[in-house]
Structure 1
């Protein structure tokens, strides 16, 4: 019985096999992330460092740069504006697309426009390609299915909950931090699901009293007060001002707010009397060592870093979409409390700071990092099992067989279609693209579906 047949069956050690022989000297791994927030890049950076220490050559690329005509910047900007100015609309989009099995034609056009550039950044000596971003996984999976990419392709799931876009047919394996995202990935039809635990910078570690005191002195924080570290990602999105005021007025802990690159938010917080406000913090391990509890609204990489630091975590006033699904998954795993009512904020913070709930969460969070066979190790195993070069059309011709060259949309047409998808507004196109294809997309859908060789 396969994992796809039984989502409750999760492998905790890599057991998948890749046919063929290993080519001498094939020790390059390509990692494709995306500068959408900081979580995808943070995971990719840490994987790259560990793989380099294992002796691999590692190339890093941003998926947004692989889209033509500056579509990546447009896509990222539109997503940012949705979270900031139309969170309800984004929630509707997320809910409508969360459980569908495949993107519709409009979204596939957007991803197909990145295929040529993606192939160009995968050298012939590549022995594995890793994605830490859903869009990149969709492109890599499509190339793998059509025989244009013939090395192991791996998705590292950076979120604790798994949207359907994370799972792409053609991807060989999906690495999850915990059994809950592993089960969700399997329910979406993911192949080769493996629980590997998370990957974070090793500087995130439980602090001694001396380290905590030094960190507080360095950042100018109160020496003896309970400190609640409030983070809202690199973009500083969500009702951060409201949450900071609620923590301050509750009197249980002093809020310490990290605004990322959102300097406007930092100035607003200072104007309402929040004393400890920071923009982009280069040394987050030190700041976390000064804190007693983390309050977050997205459930991404910062939560994993807090677990590694031995901090209890609470999700509160979460951003729409993945912020809320991550909060639910973290709660179900017993790793983070999820506060749904404002009146519960102070009692829960008190329990996390001084009660058994905080102690339990600290233990469970640290246990995540004791998983045998971490993601870098699993990727290294996959990279050691390579058959041929990434582009199989050349290899097939050498073997004397005929490889049909895929029909391609011209680059200008691809760019124009993809630009229209984004410019017309992510909301309606995405909602339609993941559902039954509208009549006007029928011909395009048939064209895209037919190009599966």
Structure 2
């Protein structure tokens, strides 16, 4: 019989869904005992309640753009002893989700669950803990009570989509954790997670991202020179980050380089930048894009990426051998992603004195420094994450 896997995601930023698609793509290329594997990606917040999804997903987006410090404060509070790990099971949101997921389990009957977002995995952990407790009590009771046990939560794998940990991810009922690097594995071990449960496979990306077209072709299509150092400036999937102010800094740098700006789905931001560039004098060759599905080509064609360090953005930059300069980030997991990159020597972070112009001018004047960053990038990037995850899943299902 064909095995069925649920991949639980959420639309709080683009990374969770992209990781889910990468895993699904690889799993559906596998078979077990000659039978295909069926995967279904479920946006967990939409499944629970459309209004809740809008509040949480759009709330994350708005806080990322307008109130990042407030988001960071909430993130840090949830890491304190006031809300320790495993205590999220009593949270009103996850308790409500767990009730909704009972129906999902009974109807879908999955053989395994993968989560690329912590909320659904807390909910399933709540159900599994309740089930295990009920079984323990029921087996001691009279036999006629045993038939009422209807809920069985299958093996669960959490895929962390940032280069850090957070207490929401850590649940006793999780069977395996997939993390982006050995540093993150050590963070989980320090939090008490069993070493054997943690696989440092990397953060998964879709196969199509790993291929790209010729650099000269891509730059020419963008109206950019093929023989100049190219800086890519962007924010998140919805254009978060101080892109306008950062572009102003780039335009003031007295060096010969060109700029590609990507504003994502933020159409208003693109209009403002287009208008600004057309109304001022500058000596830079600039190309401005809105949303694009050609990031595999673009990242392989630029020399430096200036952006906020989201988990998937960071992963894609590493896989394309592109060093980062980070002038802005959302406090919380992105700040900790930046800590990871800085500790690995694969990104530069701006400060009050070490400004973007200072950092970029040194890279332009001394290409060996850019080469050193690229060498460090190559030392930490991890290919084949989705393939390794799928192999783990197959092994679990074959042994079950």
Partner secondary structure for residue 120 of structure 1: helix
Cα shift at 1:347: 4.0
Distance 1:321 1:370, change over 3 A: closer
Partner of 1:241: 244
Cα root mean square deviation, aligned: 2.6
Runs (4+) of structure 1 exceeding 6 A deviation are: none
For the Cα contact (< 8 Å) 2:128–2:152, is it kept in 1? yes
Partner secondary structure for residue 282 of structure 1: coil
Q: Which runs of 5+ in 2 are unaligned?
A: 32-36, 132-150, 279-285
Distance 1:106 1:376, change over 3 A: closer
Cα shift at 1:205: 4.5
Higher helix share: 2
Structure 1 Cα separation of the partners of residues 173 and 251 of structure 2: 49
Cα shift at 1:339: 2.3
Partner secondary structure for residue 382 of structure 2: helix
Cα shift at 1:84: 2.4
Cα shift at 1:33: 0.7
Distance 1:351 1:125, change over 3 A: farther
Partner of 1:313: 324
Partner of 1:9: none
Q: How does 1:46-445 map to 2 (within 5 A)?
A: 46-55=22-31, 56-68=37-49, 70-100=51-81, 101-102=84-85, 108-122=91-105, 123=107, 125-147=109-131, 148-191=151-194, 192-205=197-210, 211-252=214-255, 253-273=257-277, 275-341=286-352, 343-350=354-361, 352=363, 354-367=366-379, 368-370=381-383, 374-386=388-400
Distance 1:220 1:107, change over 3 A: farther
Question: Which range moved further: 123-132 or 306-315?
Answer: 123-132
How high is the TM-score relative to the length of structure 2? 0.82
For the Cα contact (< 8 Å) 1:336–1:361, is it kept in 2? yes
Cα shift at 1:59: 0.7
For the Cα contact (< 8 Å) 2:125–2:171, is it kept in 1? yes
For the Cα contact (< 8 Å) 1:90–1:320, is it kept in 2? yes
Distance 1:115 1:48, change over 3 A: same
Partner secondary structure for residue 394 of structure 2: helix
For the Cα contact (< 8 Å) 1:219–1:287, is it kept in 2? no
Can you list the C-alpha shifts for 1:387-427, whole angstroms capped at 9, x where unaligned?
xxxxxxxxxxxxxxxxxxxxxxxxxxxxxxxxxxxxxxxxx
For the Cα contact (< 8 Å) 1:27–1:125, is it kept in 2? no
For the Cα contact (< 8 Å) 1:87–1:320, is it kept in 2? yes
Cα shift at 1:105: 6.9
Cα shift at 1:234: 0.9
Distance 1:342 1:267, change over 3 A: farther
For the Cα contact (< 8 Å) 2:162–2:337, is it kept in 1? yes
Partner secondary structure for residue 146 of structure 1: helix
Partner secondary structure for residue 242 of structure 1: helix
How high is the TM-score relative to the length of structure 1? 0.73
Structure 2 Cα separation of the partners of residues 357 and 203 of structure 1: 30
Distance 1:196 1:266, change over 3 A: same
Structure 1 Cα separation of the partners of residues 312 and 126 of structure 2: 27
Structure 2 Cα separation of the partners of residues 241 and 205 of structure 1: 30
For the Cα contact (< 8 Å) 1:142–1:169, is it kept in 2? no
Q: Which runs of 5+ in 1 are unaligned?
A: 1-24, 387-453
For the Cα contact (< 8 Å) 2:157–2:176, is it kept in 1? yes
Cα shift at 1:51: 0.7
For the Cα contact (< 8 Å) 1:68–1:114, is it kept in 2? no
Partner secondary structure for residue 250 of structure 1: coil
Question: Which range moved further: 197-206 or 286-295?
Answer: 197-206
More relative contact order in 1 or in 2 (CA 8 Å, sep 6+)? 1
Partner secondary structure for residue 91 of structure 2: helix
